[in-house]
Structure 1
Amino acid sequence: MNDRIITPFSAESTADEVIKGIDLAGRRVVVTGAASGIGVETARVLAGAGAEVTLAVRDVGAGDRVAADITAATGNKQVLVDRLDLADQASVSAFAAQWDGPLDILINNAGIMASPLMRTPEGWEMQFATNHLGHFALTTGLRSALAAAGGARVVSVSSSAHHRSPVVFDDIHFLRRPYDPFEAYGQSKTANVLFAVEASKRWAADGITVNALMPGGIRTNLQRYVPDEVLEQLRVAAGGGGLKWKTPEQGAATSVLVATSPLLDGVGGRYFEDCNEAEVGVLSARNGVAPFALDPDAAARLWDVSLTTLAG
């Protein structure tokens, strides 16, 4: 790997600061999970820079309300809403099939975290199905649109929770091993990084780059399955009582940087945090990227397993 990418920005930087001076007029963007959490702020900032932004959401009513708020705040009327349920492969296929024209930026932001054991109709574990397989199917389904844009970027929102587990290929869906909600979440977040590694390699000739990132610790609806006392334990474990949660404005900053910064032109297959590329193997509770998440052999294997799984 080349030298780590270090930017002028930090953990305290906001998405507005990161995008300052960048003009996205004429660019088309899709943000999954843009009706809540950092997805809202990500979409708002990109719309503010002039992009046409499609909010890809499960709850269209909530999406419509967010779109109206973003238009009111930015003056950008090109804020669109379309239904997307990542756990429903028919919904994913329909979204990709109806997309017309080029797509410059795809931000795979939606996610489910530490849920009780749930399965899709296919029998897939819900966190892996939503966080990885749904986004895998969506992105591969939109590949021609991304290629048509020339220099398109895909942003894979991962988490430092990937430290908890590699992809356990022998039992991805917890059919034989005991289910642990945080291990399942960690596995799905490792998959998000491995996807960036392999997609960047496979799609380089199309000019498509794919990077993963950790947005930071932010209180959002993502943690709806995690009791407050467990969140507090995690926060303390991540650096003691002095460690603060990021604001949504700070939490969206790394996604926006990876999606738009000229410092990342032509850069793919990497993992960022706090607006900079993470150190490999130097791990703390919220920082660093595990070597297994960047392993090219695991990335290639996951791609093949994902294709086979989706093919039924």
Structure 2
Amino acid sequence: MTSELFTTPFGEYSTADEVIAGADLSGKRAVVTGAASGIGVETARALAAVGAEVTLAVRNLDAGEKTAAGIPNSRVELLDLADQGSVKAFTQRWEGPLHILVNNAGVMASPLARTPEGWESQFATNHLGHFALAVGLHDALARAGDARVVAVSSSAHHRAGIDFDDIHFERREYGPWTAYGQSKTANVLFAVEAARRWAPDGITVNALNPGGIRTNLQCHVDPAELEALRKAAASDGEELRWKTTPEGAATSVLLAASPLVKGVSGKYFDDCNEAPRGRIGARHGVSGHALDPEAAQRLWEYSLRVL
């Protein structure tokens, strides 16, 4: 017997401002990673617009300061998710409660690169960096009493589960999209396990697919390949229109701050609603491998061990 999916009045082309209208985040503190570009900027702006004190966690301080100049009640902190020293320094600097953590930053389909630890860079940045950040900020989130953690995943999670025998492509042939898909599956599995582990602390954790938005995230992707992806969506009967940045940030903002999703945890959303199980066309739905509780627990234990 399956439970009904969680739905909201919003949809594919709702904007961040629309989903957060009427919310009051006065006195709340938020961290948004990757907040100097793309939907990270819009996510931070929308949260600040309804009263949140927002920390822009960025790798490029100059870009972060320029972004912060247009967002009232915001500040900039250095964070390089591929550098565990940087992540540890960020978490050690944090003082007081944290009400909202949006794990938004990421790299997509990049050439093979490794961190000093030998980790494949997409997995290291998209999953291990955010995992270490969230775990390092756990006590601050628990002090908030009703904190929310948001993990920005992607429809690309359909491309790959976690290859626990060779996560870092030490033996198998490296594929940029396979690596990206694996890291995006890891984001969902993190939400599944964190929701279970942190429920007693009043922390809710959800993952999401923001949809197709043209941002700097695609800097490693050939334009012809992007066009091929659009055509693939068309062959599945889907509309080819790219989302605007305010539309792309909407699901993140909904999960971070909307009263509608208070208490909702351990789910995967796309287009502002809980996604149905299974791949729906080229861009929708959630694969079973991303919601597998055994894989989620195994990934958590693996991540703690390597960190």
Instruction: Normalising by structure 1, report the TM-score.
Output: 0.96
Secondary structure of 1:170's match? coil
Q: Which residue of 2 aligns with 1:245?
A: 242
Q: Are positions 1:139 and 2:140 aligned together?
A: no
User: Matched residues in 1 for 2:51 and 2:258: separation?
Assistant: 15
Counterpart amino acid of 1:183? T
Deviation string 1:35-63 (CA, Å, 9 cap, x unpaired) is 00000000001000110000000001100
Q: Are positions 1:31 and 2:32 aligned together?
A: yes
User: Matched residues in 2 for 1:46 and 1:242: separation?
Assistant: 29
Which ranges of structure 1 fall in alignment gaps of 5 or more residues?
A: 72-77
Q: Is the 8 A contact 1:111 1:131 kept in 2?
A: yes
Counterpart amino acid of 2:32? V
Q: Which residue of 2 aligns with 1:62?
A: 63
Q: Which residue of 1 aligns with 2:45?
A: 44
Q: Which residue of 2 aligns with 1:231?
A: 226
User: Of the candidates 181, 187, 206, which is equivalent to residue 176 of structure 2?
Assistant: 181
Q: Which residue of 1 aligns with 2:262?
A: 265
User: Matched residues in 2 for 1:245 and 1:64: separation?
Assistant: 28
Q: Are positions 1:158 and 2:159 aligned together?
A: no
Q: Which residue of 2 aligns with 1:125?
A: 120
Q: Which residue of 2 aligns with 1:256?
A: 253
Shift of 1:242: 4.5
User: Matched residues in 2 for 1:251 and 1:25: separation?
Assistant: 24
Q: Which residue of 2 aligns with 1:299?
A: 296
Counterpart amino acid of 2:64? G
User: Of the candidates 86, 93, 106, which is equivalent to residue 91 of structure 1?
Assistant: 86
Secondary structure of 1:13's match? coil
User: Matched residues in 2 for 1:97 and 1:2: separation?
Assistant: 40
Q: Which residue of 1 aligns with 2:271?
A: 274
Shift of 1:186: 0.1
Secondary structure of 2:205's match? strand
Q: Which residue of 1 aligns with 2:282?
A: 285
Deviation string 1:52-85 (CA, Å, 9 cap, x unpaired) is 00000000110000000123xxxxxx20100000
Which ranges of structure 2 fall in alignment gaps of 5 or more residues?
A: none
User: Matched residues in 2 for 1:86 and 1:59: separation?
Assistant: 12
Shift of 1:282: 4.1
Shift of 1:262: 1.7
- Aligned-residue identity in percent: 67
Shift of 1:263: 2.0
Q: Are positions 1:214 and 2:214 aligned together?
A: no
Shift of 1:260: 1.1
Counterpart amino acid of 1:280? R
Q: Is the 8 A contact 2:159 2:177 kept in 1?
A: yes
Secondary structure of 2:278's match? coil
- The runs of at least 4 consecutive aligned structure 1 residues that moved more than 2 Å come to 239-242
Shift of 1:238: 1.5
User: Matched residues in 2 for 1:2 and 1:299: separation?
Assistant: 20
Q: Is the 8 A contact 2:28 2:99 kept in 1?
A: yes
Q: Which residue of 2 aligns with 1:81?
A: 76
User: Matched residues in 2 for 1:264 and 1:17: separation?
Assistant: 15
User: Matched residues in 1 for 2:47 and 2:246: separation?
Assistant: 12
Q: Is the 8 A contact 2:206 2:265 kept in 1?
A: yes
Deviation string 1:215-259 (CA, Å, 9 cap, x unpaired) is 000000000000111011011111259511000010000000011
Secondary structure of 1:167's match? coil
Counterpart amino acid of 2:14? S
Q: Is the 8 A contact 1:112 1:131 kept in 2?
A: yes
| Cα 1:167–1:59 shift into 2, 3 Å | same
Shift of 1:265: 1.4
